[in-house]
Structure 1
Amino acid sequence: MNEFWTNHKEAIIYAAIVITIVLILRFLTKKLYNWLEKRTQIKYPNDAPSNIHLAQKILNALWLVLGIMALGFIFIDEEQYKTARENFYIVLYLGIVAVLTLFAASLVQTWFKRSIKHRVANNEDTTSYKFLRYIAIFAVYFLGGILMLIAFKSMRSFAATALGGAGIVAVVAGVASQEALSNLVGGLFIIFFKPFKLGDIIKVDESMVGTVTDITLRHTIIRNYENKMIVIPNAIINKEKLINYDLGTHICCQWIEVGISYDSDIDLAKRIMREECEDHPNLIDHRSELEKYNEENKVVVRVIALGDSSVTIRAWAWASNYNQAFSMKCDLYESIKKRFDKEGIEIPFPHRTLIFKENQLEGLRSKAQNTNQVSVEKEEPDA
């Protein structure tokens, strides 16, 4: 035993020191994580410190890997020592860069959260801040990835070029036709020109109507009235013609269109539609002062079309916003239908007239008679 200790004394002491350092570093990492977690929970009780938790895992894995590599120095010769030492420094560099990148991303995200919270408290628009948050976090991770590539000799030229202005221009030019960049540019256009912002109610088509909940680097998210999320790429939504119900004034004009038969009383139908609209609680008086002075009707009702089987009548009803206008439209269709039924106003529905030739009619009659005979023959045994 003494001979083994004498021959391997330095290696045993070296291994003990390495293991002790690894344990101390893991202990300090745990203490630092607990301190940061408590501080984050105090300031932001509703946010989970995911980046901090991931950084702790990376550090614990880093100390373990470095400790194993350091212990490996005991079993290698001098020729392999130089390569092993270089690999040791590369792993250490990668681990530190990864942790610093996560911390930088957490700081950026925290700053944007504070700014967004402050603007929300002051009833200010937060669309640009939420979108720029994605760009800033992407930039942090992009820079961290480039710094990691520098650790490898074969990738240093690419990393140096990407960090330079010419490299960025080359990268952008190389992917200019790609969908990813189109969506990114589309998102920037939305932020700069503001055709809509977070919280606005927009209508892209009849199946895509809802509230804008988020605008990312790639897509815009709309929550429709079925509480479903509609994800639209920014490049597509920039090309579409859309309606923003919250752009400018919020008051909304709702068309109430009903078709009546040609035999029905048009004047009576117009009066019923006007009365039902004026009695609805969501209706607002949109008349000018001159129109009020002239005692014009609150709701304009006109015949707008003479169709093949119906006379189309439209009422222009105004509401305070899109939500109230939609509810008013649904209620008015129901109440107008009930009044029409009560007052004898007919709403036409499609009719179809079938004309048979004489030989076809005889064939149908003979076929019907044969069918009746078969059914009678089947019933007779049971009788």
Structure 2
Amino acid sequence: MVEWILPIAFILFGLLAGIIGEKFIFKKLRKFVAERQIPGGEVIFQSLHRMTFLWFVLAGFSGAIFYSSLKLDADVKILLRKIILIIFLCSVTLVLARITAGFVNLFIRRTEGVPASLISNLAMTVVLVLGTLILLQTVGIEITPIVTTLGVGGIAVGLALQDTLANLFSGFYLLVSKQVRTGDYVKLDDGHEGYVTDITWRNTTIREISNNVIIVPNSKLASAIFTNYHLPAKEITLTMNVGVSYDSDLEEVEQVTVEVAKEVMQEIAPALIAIEPYIRFHTFNDFSIDFTLYMRVSEYFDQRMGKHLFVKKLHRRYQQVGISIPFPIRDVYMQDNGTENSAMELD
């Protein structure tokens, strides 16, 4: 029993240190970093989640084996140490992969707005593959034959996974060419439209305004005809067709309409208020003089709210200043027992 005291003590100490480190020290440090808003701090702490406990436990088992007075066979001790080393290297590789993917996402979020999981997953995969090769080399396994085998087998796998690889490379093409970016509002040639929420190794996810999700294979999207309303910039011009009566003072119409458009811009696109809205008269219609309003909004989806506010505000302002928006009237003649009657009917 005496021989077991020291190993058990090391193991218990590792467990206790791991619990204290994970539950108290780790949480305190994470809270401190969050309060100071240290760049990348949250990524690091998310990557280290549960790992401090594992490392303390491994340290306890390692100390138990090293300082143990138990009469264990030398080969058994070597095997136990290799197992501990393998677990430790696997955990380190996983942490590095998480950190790499996290910082890639952080960088893309700051430059593009919304990260694509394809890039972060690729970065994580590269780190995991390199870590696995280093792990195999560390435990004494020759990696050269493995790499050669993977190279030869990769040809057969590539032939079997042609569609998957086509989607993978199409996803890279979309990201590198920046024809589609996460966060963009796109409209496909089949009529579907929405925000691009993610580009994975196989497909692109588009969220419609109704909150439905459209899954488009990357190869299909790369060869499709679509409109990206966020390129070359998010800001677009909202157009509204309006008609006023022939009795209207066109100078007053222009002044009032532009003032209303500025009020709408102040509500939905204050950053673009320096870009003056304007109108252009273009048609002598049957019942009205028609013009088109041109007004800048922040992005495609803002057109809906912009039109909503503009119609309400313009209708109220026209009523206040006495500008009328005409509606067509039709004369209808009816025959009744040889008598012709005339009536007015709204169209």
TM-score band, normalised by shorter chain? 0.5 to 0.7
Could you tell me which residue of structure 2 aligns to residue 42 of structure 1?
A: 32
C-alpha change, 1:98 and 1:157, in structure 2 (3 Å) is closer
Could you tell me which residue of structure 1 aligns to residue 337 of structure 2?
A: none
Contact 1:112 1:130 in 2 (8 A): no
Could you tell me which residue of structure 1 aligns to residue 336 of structure 2?
A: none
Contact 2:58 2:84 in 1 (8 A): yes
C-alpha change, 1:317 and 1:16, in structure 2 (3 Å) is same
Which is worse superposed, 99-108 or 275-284? Answer: 275-284
- Shift, 1:91, TM fit: 3.0
Could you tell me which residue of structure 1 aligns to residue 49 of structure 2?
A: 53
C-alpha change, 1:152 and 1:237, in structure 2 (3 Å) is farther
Deviations 1:2-42 (A, max 9, x none): xxxxxxxxxx3432232122223334545655555544443
Could you tell me which residue of structure 1 aligns to residue 193 of structure 2?
A: 208
Unaligned runs of 5+ in 2: 266-274, 319-323, 331-347
- Shift, 1:191, TM fit: 1.9
Residue type at the aligned position of 1:230: V
Specify the structure having the higher radius of gyration (Cα).
1
Provide the C-alpha distance between the structure 2 equivalents of 1:334 and 1:251, rounded to a whole number of angstroms: 23
- Give the 3-state SS of the residue equivalent to 1:209 in structure 2: strand
- Give the 3-state SS of the residue equivalent to 1:247 in structure 2: coil
Pairing of 1:118-157 with structure 2 (within 5 A) = 120=110, 124-125=111-112, 132-144=119-131
> Is 1:176 matched with 2:168?
no
- Shift, 1:104, TM fit: 1.3
- Give the 3-state SS of the residue equivalent to 2:179 in structure 1: coil
Contact 1:190 1:196 in 2 (8 A): yes
- Shift, 1:64, TM fit: 8.4
Provide the C-alpha distance between the structure 1 equivalents of 2:257 and 2:148, rounded to a whole number of angstroms: 64
C-alpha change, 1:343 and 1:192, in structure 2 (3 Å) is closer
**Whose strand fraction is larger, Structure 1's or Structure 2's?**
2
> Is 1:189 matched with 2:173?
yes
Could you tell me which residue of structure 1 aligns to residue 96 of structure 2?
A: 104
Provide the C-alpha distance between the structure 1 equivalents of 2:104 and 2:310, rounded to a whole number of angstroms: 46
Residue type at the aligned position of 1:345: F
- Give the 3-state SS of the residue equivalent to 2:49 in structure 1: helix
Provide the C-alpha distance between the structure 2 equivalents of 1:203 and 1:347, rounded to a whole number of angstroms: 39
Could you tell me which residue of structure 1 aligns to residue 270 of structure 2?
A: none
Contact 1:253 1:316 in 2 (8 A): no
Residue type at the aligned position of 2:15: R
Contact 1:302 1:315 in 2 (8 A): no
Contact 1:131 1:191 in 2 (8 A): no
Residue type at the aligned position of 2:168: L
> Is 1:26 matched with 2:3?
no
- Give the 3-state SS of the residue equivalent to 2:163 in structure 1: coil
Unaligned runs of 5+ in 1: 1-11, 288-297, 305-312, 349-383
C-alpha change, 1:161 and 1:176, in structure 2 (3 Å) is farther
> Is 1:319 matched with 2:305?
no
Pairing of 1:257-276 with structure 2 (within 5 A) = none
C-alpha change, 1:344 and 1:314, in structure 2 (3 Å) is closer
Which is worse superposed, 162-171 or 128-137? Answer: 162-171
Contact 2:136 2:142 in 1 (8 A): yes
Deviations 1:285-316 (A, max 9, x none): 677xxxxxxxxxx2355599xxxxxxxx9946
**Whose helix fraction is larger, Structure 1's or Structure 2's?**
1
Could you tell me which residue of structure 2 aligns to residue 359 of structure 1?
A: none
Could you tell me which residue of structure 2 aligns to residue 376 of structure 1?
A: none
Residue type at the aligned position of 1:209: G
Provide the C-alpha distance between the structure 2 equivalents of 1:347 and 1:158, rounded to a whole number of angstroms: 87
Provide the C-alpha distance between the structure 1 equivalents of 2:145 and 2:70, rounded to a whole number of angstroms: 35
- Shift, 1:192, TM fit: 0.8
C-alpha change, 1:145 and 1:266, in structure 2 (3 Å) is farther
Could you tell me which residue of structure 2 aligns to residue 8 of structure 1?
A: none
Q: TM-score, normalised by structure 2?
A: 0.58
Residue type at the aligned position of 2:95: F
Provide the C-alpha distance between the structure 2 equivalents of 1:201 and 1:172, rounded to a whole number of angstroms: 33
Residue type at the aligned position of 1:26: L
C-alpha change, 1:344 and 1:127, in structure 2 (3 Å) is closer
Provide the C-alpha distance between the structure 2 equivalents of 1:216 and 1:333, rounded to a whole number of angstroms: 41
Provide the C-alpha distance between the structure 1 equivalents of 2:329 and 2:184, rounded to a whole number of angstroms: 37
